[in-house]
Amino acid sequence: MIHTPMGPAAPSPRPLPSPTASPSRPARQSTGHGQDSISSWPLMDRVGYLLCWAAGLLLCALAAGIVLVMFVKGISYLRPGLLLEHPSASQSQSGSGGFLDPIEGTLLLTAIGIALAAPIGVAVAVWLSEYRRPAALAQAVESGIEMIAGAPSVVLAFFGLLIFARPSLAFLSQTSAGGAVYGRSFFAAGAMMSLLALPLVVSATREGLAQIPAHMREASYALGKTRATTIRRVLLPSIRPSIASGTTLGMGRIIGDTAIVVILLGASLHLEGAGGTPGLSTLRGTGSTLTSYVFENSPAGEGNAPEKAYAAAFVLLMMVLALNMVVTRLSSGKPRWLAGLTGPMLWRWMPWRD
Amino acid sequence: MLRHSRWQRLNLSAERRAELALGAVSVAVLAFVVAMLVTVFVKAWPSFAHNGYIKWFFPGGDVDQQIKAIVNSPPDPAHYVYHLRAWPLLWDTALTTGIAVVLGLVLSVLSAIFIVEFAPQSMKRILEPVVRLLAAVPSVIFGLIGILLVVPWINQHLISQGRKLSVSYVVQLNGAGLLVASLILMVMIVPIMVAITVNALSAVPNSWTEGSAALGVNRWRTMWRVSVRTARPAIIAGAVLATARALGEAIMLALVGGSRSFPVNLLDGRTALFEPVRPLAATIITYKDNLSVVPLSQTLYAMAAVVLVSTAALSLAAWSVKQPLKRYGIRT
Amino acid sequence: MGPPPVRRIVVEREPTVVAPPPSNGRPAPLPDAPMGAKVTERMRIENVSLAYGDRWVVRDVTLPVREGEVLALIGASGSGKTTLLRSLNRLTEVTAGATRAGRVTLDGQEISDLEVTALRRRISMVFQQPNPFPMSVFENVAYALREERRGGRDEEHRGGWRGRRRAGRKELEPAVVEALQRAGLYEEVKADLNHPALRLSGGQQQRLCIARALAANPEVLLLDEPCSALDPISTATIEQLISRLRESVAIVIVTHNLQQAFRVADHVAFMHLGELVEYGSSDQVFDNPRQQRTREYISGAFG
C-alpha cells in the first residue's frame, strides 16, 4: 500500500510540474523584494519609507530643476554669435560682446591641467599600488594625496600665487613694467588645476589596479617579465578605461573651478599674451574661462550682465554634461556605485567588504 | 651612452630605476603638500602675531571695516595695520557648514536607503546619473541660480516687510543669506555623501540582512538596525569629507551669502535665516583684488591657513572614525 | 527527453499516524510519540514544488514537521533540500522569480496567508555560516525581542502609533539570559555579554545565532547545515543542543553529513534532484532503506 506521510487521505498523484506548463497554480510568484508588505509595518516605519521616497524624488527634482532652468535661460539668451565674438568691456549688456576668449581659456586651461595631472597621477598610483616601499613613505604620500583632495581650491590658488610670484619663476608668468612678478598666468593656473584632478586620477587608477586579479601579474612574472615591464605591458593597458574615467572626472573638476581662475589667471577679458614668443606667450599670459566669465557677469561681479552669465553658464553646463556622459559610459558595469566620485580613499571606509 | 654607463656604475637595474622614478614623483607630490602647509603658514604668521594669536579668532567689531583699514594701511611696513577679529567669519562658516551637513546627512542617508533597498529598478537607473550630475554642476552655476532666482524669490515671498524693518537698524535683508546659502551648500555636498553611503550600504554582507529577515524583522528595521549601523563609519566619513568640501566652498557662498560680513544672530529667531553670511573662504574671494596690499594678503593667507588646517584636521578625524569597526572584530 | 517518471512517495508508517488537524486549536499529539516527548504536528508540506524562474528545484514534496522531534533533510548537493527549507519561512521569496506550488501550512494555516514578518518570528532560521550581527552578544540576542515588542504579532505589544515601546535592558535581560541558556551558551559568555559577538569562536557564534533565533520563542526552528563551518567539538556541542531543544520546538535540519542526521534526527527525508525519495524514521532509513537510490546514497555510492 502506498501512502503519503499525511495519512490515508492521500491525494492522487499529480503530474509533475514542468517549467513550461505551469503546475498546480495558483503558484506564488515572488516579486523579488516582496518579502514583507509595507502595509504590515508599524506607522513609524511607513513614515520612514515615505521619507525615503521623498528624498529620492527630491534629488531627481533638484537635478531636473537645475538642468531645466539652465536650458530655458540659456537657450533664450544664447545667440550663436556669442560663441564666436570676443568680449569687450562695456557698461551695457548688449555691448559687451561674446565669450570666445573664455571658451578658449577653458579649453586651454583644462588641457594644461590634465596634461600635468594624468601622468603624475598614474605614476603616483602605480607606485602606491604596486611598489609602496618604504611603507611609511607610502602612507605619507597617501595622506598627502588625501590632503590635496580635501584642500579647498581657494587655498590651492593662494599657494600657487606664492610659488609663481617668485622672481626665479618669473619666466612662467607676467611681469610688470617695474619687474614685479604677478604670478598669474595660464601656466600657473593650469599647474594648480592639475592638483584638483590629481586625486581623482590617482584613485581611479588605483581602483583599476586593485581589480586586476593577482594571477594576471603572476602569469606575466612567470614569463620572465620584470615588474616594470608587467606594469607597462600588462597592467596599464588593461586599466585604460579606469584611467580615462579618472581623467575625465578630473577634467570636469577643472572646467568647473572658479576660485583658481579668478585668483591665478587674472580673469582678464581677453587672452593676453606676455612676451614675444607665440604660443608660449599665451601660456605666460592671462585670460579668463567660462567660470570666471559667469562669476564676473553675475550681480556679484564687475560686469553684471546676467543674460550673458546665463548664456555662458549654459555652455559650461553643456560641457560638464558631455563629460558626465563620457564618465557614465566609461564606468558602466563597475561594481561600485558612482565609481570615482567618492573620493580617493573610499575603500578604507568599507573594510568589511573584502 | 654616458648616462647608460653611469646608471650601470650605480648598479641599478631597469626594474629599480622604474621604482625610483615612480617613487620620486610620489615624493615630489608629498613634498609639494608639505611646502604648501609650511609656506601658507609662514605667509600668514604676521596676521596672527600682530593680533595676539588667539585673539585673531575672537569677536570684536565689524570685519569689513577692519579689512578696509588693512587695505588702506600706509605703504611703510612699520605702520602696516593688521587689526582683525575674525569671529564673525568663523561663526558664519560654522553655521552654514553645520546646517548644510546636518540637513545633507539626513537627505543623503534617506536617499541612499531608498536607492539600495526600496527604489524600483527604473528609479535606480535614473538616480545614478542624477547624483552624478548634481556632483558635477560647477559651484558658479549653483551660485548663479541662487543669486538670480532663489534670492529674489525668497526676498519676495518669505521675508515680510515687518521682518525687514525689525532688523533694519543693523542689517538689510534682501534674500541673500543664511537660508539660501546653507540650502544650496547642502545640495552641493549631498552627492558625495549619497555615493559613499550607497556603496557602504550595499557592501553590508548579505548574511546579516538575510539573518535579520529570517528573524522576522521587516526591511525598514533591517536597513536601519543592521545596515545603517554597520555602515555608520562610512557614513560619518562621508559627512566629514562633505564638511571639508563645505568649508572650502567660496564662489557659491560669495555669490549668495549677501555682500557683507555679519555674524548671524541666532537670538533673532527665524529672522536669522535671512541674515547675510560670509564665511572665511568667501571672504578670501571677495578681497582677491587687493592682494597686492601686503598686510591684506597676509590677513587673507591667515584665513586660508585656518581653512586648510580645518580641512586637514577633518581628514585626521575621519581616520579615527573607523575605530568602532575594530571593536566588532572587523580587521581594517 | 521528457519529464522524469512520476514518483510516488513511499512511507513506512501506518496509515493512521497523523490525524487531520482538528478545526479548532492545535492538533492532537501522536499516539506513538517516540522518546516520551509530546509529538505534535505543526507544519505540513503538501505537494510543494519550487522553482527559480523556469528551473524547478523541488518537485512535489510532501512532508510533516512535528514538534517534539527532529526532521533531517538529507541528500547530495543540488537536491533542493536547502531551497525547501528556506521556503518554509518564505525566505525563498527574497530571490526574484522564485515560485512555489502546493501548500505549506503552519497549524493548518497556509503560510502565504500569514504576515511574513510574523511568520518568520514563529519559524526561525539558522544559517550555514554563523552570521552574528556586528553588535554585542546581548544586543544580538535582544535583536528580535526588541522588534517583537514593537508591533509584533500580539496586538498589546503594538505600542501606539509609533509602534515603539522602547524595551529597556532590564526588561529584556531575563529573556536574553533564558535564550542563551537554552542555547547552552550562557555559562561561557555571561561575563562578557557586552563584548562584540564577532569576537566569539565559530562554534560560539553559531550557538549565539541559535540563541538569537530562540529568543523570540519560535515554534519551528530551521537549521541549514548549522555545523558545516565548524570543528568537530563545536559540532558535538550543537548536536547535543539540538537533542535538548527538540522537546520544546519543532526542528528541521538540513545536513549532508549522514552521521549527523543519524545522530540527531528522529525522522529523515532523503531528497534527490529535487524529489523526495524516501521518508521514514531515521532507524528505518539508515538500517533498512526501501529505495534503491537511498541505499546507494547511504552506502556512499554517490553524493
> What is the average per-residue pLDDT within C199-208?
89
Residues forming a β-bridge with C253:
C72, C223
Q: Which long-range contacts (CB under 8 A, 24 or more apart) does B66-71 make?
A: B67/B287, B67/B296, B67/B299, B70/B293, B70/B295, B70/B296, B70/B299, B71/B287, B71/B290, B71/B293, B71/B296
Q: What is the pTM of this model?
A: 0.83
Is 90 exceeded by the pLDDT of residue C107? no
Of B205, B214, B229, the CB nearest to C125: B214
A7 has a chain C CB within 8 A of its CB = yes
> What is the average per-residue pLDDT within B71-86?
77
CA-to-CA separations, B77 to B40, B63, B82, B294, C28, in angstroms, rounded: 20, 22, 11, 9, 102
Is A23 in contact with C101 (Cβ distance < 8 A)? yes
Nearest CA to CA, how far is B135 from chain A (Å)? 8
Is 60 exceeded by the pLDDT of residue C63? yes
Domains in chain A: boundaries: 78-343
Q: Quote the CA–CA distance of A54 and B111 in Å, as a whole number.
A: 8
> What is the average per-residue pLDDT within A90-99?
66
Predicted pLDDT at A89: 65
Tell me the pLDDT band of A270, cut-offs 50, 70 and 90.
Answer: low
Is 90 exceeded by the pLDDT of residue B311? no
CB-neighbour burial class of residue B53 (10 A; exposed 0-12, middle 13-18, buried 19+): exposed
Domains in chain B: boundaries: 1-50, 87-328
| Rounded (10°) CA dihedral B271, B252, B194, B99 | -20
Q: Between vectors from CA B110 to CA B217 and to CA A353, what angle results, nearest 5°?
A: 70
Of C91, C129, C216, the CB nearest to B207: C129
Mean pLDDT of chain A: 76
pLDDT, tens digit (0-9, with 9 covering 90-100), for B5-27: 554 555 567 778 888 888 888 88
Is B215 in contact with C129 (Cβ distance < 8 A)? no
Q: Quote the CA–CA distance of B30 and B115 in Å, as a whole number.
A: 38
Angle at which helices A153-164 and B14-50 cross, to 10° = 100
- Residue C47 φ/ψ, nearest 5 degrees: 50, 45
CATH code for the part of the protein at B87-328: 1.10.3720.10
More confident residue, C167 or B167: B167
Tell me the pLDDT band of A18, cut-offs 50, 70 and 90.
Answer: very low
B34 has a chain C CB within 8 A of its CB = no
Nearest to B211 by CA among C210, C196, A80: C210
DSSP structure class, residue C16 = T
Predicted pLDDT at C160: 44
Nearest residue of A to residue B303, measured between CA atoms: A155
Is C213 in contact with B329 (Cβ distance < 8 A)? no
| Rounded (10°) CA dihedral A77, A83, A85, A89 | 60
Is 90 exceeded by the pLDDT of residue A55? yes
More confident residue, A197 or C146: A197
B330 has a chain C CB within 8 A of its CB = yes
C-alpha cell at A20: 513550461
More confident residue, B90 or A97: B90
ipTM above 0.90, yes or no: no
Q: Quote the CA–CA distance of B77 and B74 in Å, as a whole number.
A: 8
Predicted pLDDT at C22: 39
Residues forming a β-bridge with A97:
A87
Query: Each residue of B74-107: b (16+ CB within 10 Å) or e?
Result: eeeeeebbbbbbbbbbbbbbebbbebbbebbbeb
pLDDT, tens digit (0-9, with 9 covering 90-100), for C269-291: 999 888 899 999 888 888 888 88
More confident residue, A77 or C213: C213
> What is the average per-residue pLDDT within A135-154?
84
Tell me the pLDDT band of B330, cut-offs 50, 70 and 90.
Answer: very low
For chain C, how far is it from start to end, CA to CA, in angstroms? 24
Tell me the pLDDT band of B322, cut-offs 50, 70 and 90.
Answer: low
Helix (H, G, I), strand (E, B) or coil at A18: coil
| Segment among A123-132, A213-222, C232-241 with least mean pLDDT | A213-222
| Segment among A163-172, B228-237, C124-133 with least mean pLDDT | A163-172
Predicted pLDDT at B102: 95
Is C133 in contact with B213 (Cβ distance < 8 A)? no
Is 50 exceeded by the pLDDT of residue A328? yes
Is 50 exceeded by the pLDDT of residue C102? yes
Is C101 in contact with A17 (Cβ distance < 8 A)? yes
Cβ atoms C284, C112 nearer than 8 A = no
pLDDT, tens digit (0-9, with 9 covering 90-100), for B232-289: 888 888 888 888 889 888 889 888 887 777 787 777 777 778 888 888 888 888 888 7
Q: Quote the CA–CA distance of C95 and B174 in Å, as a whole number.
A: 56
How big is the A-C interface in CB pairs under 8 Å? 127
A40 neighbourhood in chain C, CB within 8 Å: 115-118
Best residue of B215, B221, B227 to probe chain C, by most C CBs closer than 10 Å? B215
Angle at which helices A43-77 and A306-330 cross, to 10° = 120
C-alpha cell at C285: 532509513
Q: What is the largest CA-CA distance in chain A?
A: 115
Fold observed for domain A78-343: MetI-like fold (1.10.3720)
Is C116 in contact with A1 (Cβ distance < 8 A)? no
Tell me the pLDDT band of C11, cut-offs 50, 70 and 90.
Answer: very low
Is 70 exceeded by the pLDDT of residue A232? yes
Q: Which long-range contacts (CB under 8 A, 24 or more apart) does C78-81 make?
A: C78/C273, C79/C271, C79/C272, C79/C273, C79/C274, C80/C50, C80/C271, C80/C273, C80/C274, C80/C275, C81/C254, C81/C271
Is 90 exceeded by the pLDDT of residue B290? no
Nearest to B147 by CA among B276, B256, B260, B273: B256
